[in-house]
Amino acid sequence: MAVTITTFALAAFLQRCFEAGGYSAGNAASVTAHLLDAEMCGVTSHGVNRLGWYLELARDGALIPEALPRVTELSPNAVTVDGQGGIGIVAMEHALAEVTARAKTGLIAMVGITNCGHTGRIGAYAEQAARDGCFAFCTGGGGRDKWSDVVPFGGSKPVMSTNPYALALPGADGQPAVCDFAISTVASGKVAIARANGTELPEGCITDANGNPSTDPEDFYAGGSLLPAAGAKGSGLGIMAELIGSALLGPAREFNWLMIAIRADAFQTPDIYRDGAAAFSSLVRNTPPAPGFDRVRMPGDMEAERRAACLEAGAITLPDGVIQGLKTAAASVGQPLWDGDAAPA
């Protein structure tokens, strides 16, 4: 049975669980805000269901929950951010602040992010960079020794991870255009959600341990693999991200990341950029919808609509599988579910 809970109560619950699990108050606040935003955007694979895993990583010593990143300048437009073994969400926040500030003065900037744990929803960082007036590019890889889930095109054995990409540009209407995707047909987090909710996956997402196509999430966890999106195209993108994450940036704790920001008005005036963005966005959104679609959206519109609806309602509805996962996660750090927070809506 699904439960609707106020965003305030859910945030308070996550915060106290993370702090009970050893996260500093500041790091807990960053991770809480990130997971809550992903949930509101409908990106449930990277939403509040991650609580249990993030607590487990801290408990097992796989990450240092109170760690703060170290920034090293290589040049005026290039820096590295060493996550110091902490949660990647905090490292990415530092990287985002550095790269956007430097792009504003130098037109273009880049940052390599290393030695950090899971970074959450990559699209969130690209979106924020776009809100700060930049074209943003971000990809990561290098985690094949730990997260080798995806088979290359034509192969039967996984040799790379989901190696996500995110790209974003400012929108003329205040809503950035944001592409955020794994190079696999589905992210592994979506397999976890399907497993938790007892639902099947669409065809073409996973194979079983013998390389046979499957729709049962359990087959993935029993030695199966993720398939690359669009065959050779997704496979090629994954291979490039793996080279960036490992050969370019070095050994990875989880994943290494490259983030590049270019000021959106680097080549033209802000007015010309806004007019061009507005014209093409209007063309896309006013395209006659195909059968089965209510309308055509720009990339990022769906997430923005869902976020706006959650903010207006002040609440989020979570399925029973996720609720049970939150309850188990809270118990692992000696915390009750919801107790002491505002009651569910």
Residue 147: what pLDDT?
A: 87
Q: Is residue 301's pLDDT more than 80?
A: yes
Residue 2: what pLDDT?
A: 83
pLDDT in tens, 223-253: 999 999 999 999 999 999 999 999 999 999 9
What the block records as the tokens of 39 is 């949930």
Q: How many CB atoms lie within 10 A of CB 283?
A: 10
Are residues 254 and 143 in contact, defined by beta-carbon separation less than 8 angstroms? yes
Residue 340: what pLDDT?
A: 67
Helix (H, G, I), strand (E, B) or coil at 115: coil
Q: Hey, what amino acid is at 111?
A: V
Predicted TM-score (pTM) of the model is: 0.93
Residue 343: what pLDDT?
A: 59
CA dihedral 249, 145, 87, 300 (to 10 degrees): 80
Helix (H, G, I), strand (E, B) or coil at 140: strand
pLDDT category at 187 given cuts 50, 70, 90 is confident
CATH 1.10.3720.10 for domain 1-66+314-345, yes or no, is no
Q: Specify the domain boundaries for CATH 3.30.60.50 within the chain.
A: 185-227
Are residues 50 and 41 in contact, defined by beta-carbon separation less than 8 angstroms? no
Q: Hey, what amino acid is at 171?
A: G
Assign a CATH topology to domain 185-227. Wheat Germ Agglutinin (Isolectin 2); domain 1 (3.30.60)
Helix (H, G, I), strand (E, B) or coil at 207: strand
Q: Is residue 189's pLDDT more than 90?
A: no
Q: Specify the domain boundaries for CATH 3.30.1370.60 within the chain.
A: 69-180+231-311
Q: What is the mean pLDDT of residues 261-279?
A: 96
Question: What are the angstrom distances between the C-alpha of 328 and each of 166, 325, 334?
Answer: 32, 5, 10
pLDDT in tens, 33-92: 999 999 999 999 899 999 999 999 999 999 999 999 999 999 999 999 999 999 999 999
CATH 3.30.1370.60 for domain 69-180+231-311, yes or no, is yes
| 19-23, 87-91, 138-142, 341-345: segment of lowest average pLDDT | 341-345
pLDDT in tens, 114-159: 999 999 999 999 999 999 999 999 999 999 998 899 999 988 889 9
pLDDT category at 342 given cuts 50, 70, 90 is low
Closest residue by Cα to residue 158 from 220, 202, 201: 220
pLDDT category at 174 given cuts 50, 70, 90 is confident
What the block records as the tokens of 249 is 């940036």
Q: Is residue 192's pLDDT more than 90?
A: no
DSSP H or E segment with residue 153: none
Rounded CA-CA distance 281/284 in Å is 5
- Residues in Cβ contact with 263 at an 8 Å cutoff, skipping those fewer than 6 apart: 103, 104, 107, 108, 133, 134, 135
pLDDT category at 263 given cuts 50, 70, 90 is very high
Locate tokens 């995110």: which residue? 166
